[in-house]
Amino acid sequence: MIDTLELLAKEKIFSPDEIALKSALWKSEGQKIVFTNGVFDLLHIGHLSYLMKAASLGTKLIIGVNSDISVKRLKGENRPINAEYSRLLMLASLFYVSGVIVFGEDTPLALIKQVKPDVLVKGADYSIDTIVGAKEVLADGGEVQTIEFVDGYSSTKLIAKINTKNE
């Protein structure tokens, strides 16, 4: 059973060239492409809520996932907890996710330019003027949305809680 699920999820993991082609195909079919990005290290209810809300803004949800190397640069040597392939596979397993792609840069700007989403989504801790790719998406006629987080949930807080219990 696991092998079958993994095979189905793998079909949603794309390379940069593949995601550009897939996005263009979906747009030609009249699909509304939503893009968001993040680390998604320890998947929790906050992530699931955020991603469901993002998915509801269109018909196809694409998630850019920070590579292990970029996570270390952004979050420190002890991160990520889960390796990039595991994070990609977990996200691709969600029924409302249409595609996932790893990126190694500190920001997803190059990926956003390839995908050309109709809707760019980030958490409400960002303002539109600080969202990477917002200017490009808006210039292409798209929209930028922010989504409130579920209070009390973050991978950083979960890791701190685990570390406190292990002391």
Ordered alpha helix ranges (H), 11-83? 16-28, 45-55, 68-75
How far apart (Å, rounded) are the C-alpha atoms in residues 123 and 83? 23
pTM for the full predicted model:
0.91
pLDDT digits 0-9 by tens, 8-59: 788 999 998 999 999 999 999 999 999 999 999 888 899 999 999 999 999 9
Boundaries of every domain in the chain: 2-165
pLDDT digits 0-9 by tens, 105-128: 999 999 999 999 999 999 999 999
How far apart (Å, rounded) are the C-alpha atoms in residues 60 and 142? 14
Whether 55 and 28 have beta carbons less than 8 Å apart is answered as: no
Listed range (1-5, 23-27, 41-45, 136-140) with the worst mean pLDDT:
1-5
Q: Could you give the count of Cα atoms lying within 13 Å of 138 in the half-sphere of its Cβ?
A: 9
Please name the fold of domain 2-165.
Rossmann fold (3.40.50)
DSSP state of 127: -
